[in-house]
Homo-oligomer: A and B are copies of this chain.
């Protein structure tokens, strides 16, 4: 017979899930109440308002999808794409590829605009695709590519899309709360995110926001949405206005307690303060890792502060290093995926995990383990380099 599961506490500095604030864990353990209880409906209203704040939007349809980030991606596509629709997908990593896969599964036609993995989406290429494919009514791209650590210029890309009269779908799974996401200012039409990155909530929910233009497209579909579970026409009946909510599916009650608490924490800190904290810790981590001799795969001005992708030093068994970090320090960092599998490490500094103590733990643990593995690194200089960043920030 098995025992109750008591996980060894870890420091989560991979690509997500990130460390969850104890307040969020406590919230999730509160007594379950009904998904149509008046108190729960009040909670839902607060979650919607708090999500509008962090997304910086006034979109009425701003809700958490009851499943992880990839379901938020799927909800975006399944509601807007019908068989035969042409969709421009910008791909510069794994998640752009997943978007294209979503479109194809729905019977849509993909126009792929490819960029090098580790580089931002090139606005000129998108502009060209918009001109070449005037019949492509939807454009999708990833703001923060979790597979490479790249940030693309969402404001510029969304501007091109709306100037061309198309609709944008933007993946902000890793960016939300870690760097600026300004849905209304960008003019983004559909944006989705995840809870397990910079919100530092447990994985399992996908915040999503959709403006009136996108809802109009949804409402004018001739074929029904292929997914009953993700059909936003139905989901809106439950998450809509007023005290009367029509039953759709049973909401993940306790997970939503956690999301609510994580949104409170984000709003208590303030968005600008959170972005600055992510940036400061990122710069310190960069300084430390570069002092060790590790190389970032992303040019400085395109780096995500919450996800740091570095190459593996020559001759090092990358999986063994991650295993040793976990075993000796309970520290999780991420492997590469897709085309970068085996070639990089991904070090997350997301949400609650974006703290000076984690920066120092990661740098010192990597120094120790890489030395142990006889990697050619610079010893004894990394901590000073990181500390210099914090000292400069205090001046």
Whether A203 lies near B252 (C-beta < 8 A) is yes
Whether A16 lies near B247 (C-beta < 8 A) is no
Contact with B along A29-57 (1 / 0, CB 8 A): 11111110111100100100110000000
Residue A367 interfacial (CB < 8 Å): no
In the bound complex, residues from chain B placing their C-beta under 8 Å from that of A2 are 46, 49-50, 260, 264
Whether B43 lies near A31 (C-beta < 8 A) is no
Residue A196 interfacial (CB < 8 Å): yes
Residue A10 interfacial (CB < 8 Å): yes
Residue A390 interfacial (CB < 8 Å): no
The one of B23, B106, B250 in contact with A69, judged by C-beta atoms closer than 8 angstroms, is B250
Q: Which of A115-123, A130-138, A219-227 sits within the interface?
A: A219-227
In the bound complex, residues from chain B placing their C-beta under 8 Å from that of A194 are 250
Whether B229 lies near A71 (C-beta < 8 A) is yes
CA distance A104 to B50 in the complex (A): 36
In the bound complex, residues from chain B placing their C-beta under 8 Å from that of A74 are 227-229
Given A29-B26, A202-B253, A70-B229 contact (CB < 8 Å): yes
The one of B9, B16, B33, B50 in contact with A10, judged by C-beta atoms closer than 8 angstroms, is B33
Contact with B along A146-174 (1 / 0, CB 8 A): 00000000000000000000000000000
- Total identical chains: 2
Whether A17 lies near B1 (C-beta < 8 A) is no
Residue A192 interfacial (CB < 8 Å): no
In the bound complex, residues from chain B placing their C-beta under 8 Å from that of A70 are 228-229, 248-250
A7 to chain B, nearest CB (A): 5
In the bound complex, residues from chain B placing their C-beta under 8 Å from that of A203 are 32, 35, 250-254
Whether B17 lies near A253 (C-beta < 8 A) is yes
A323 nearest CB neighbor, chain B only: B38
In the bound complex, residues from chain B placing their C-beta under 8 Å from that of A66 are 67-68, 71, 204
Residue A105 interfacial (CB < 8 Å): yes
In the bound complex, residues from chain B placing their C-beta under 8 Å from that of A140 are none
A343 to chain B, nearest CB (A): 16
Given A17-B250, A43-B5, A12-B34 contact (CB < 8 Å): yes
Given A102-B228, A267-B1, A37-B10 contact (CB < 8 Å): yes
Closest 5 CB pairs of A and B: A204-B252, A29-B29, A67-B67, A202-B254, A70-B249
Provide a sorted-by-A list of 6 A–B residue pairs whose CB atoms are within 8 angstroms: A12-B32, A69-B250, A70-B228, A70-B249, A73-B229, A203-B251
| Further 7 A-B residue pairs, CB within 8 A, beyond A12-B34, A105-B231, A204-B255 | A7-B33, A8-B39, A14-B34, A17-B34, A25-B28, A28-B28, A70-B250
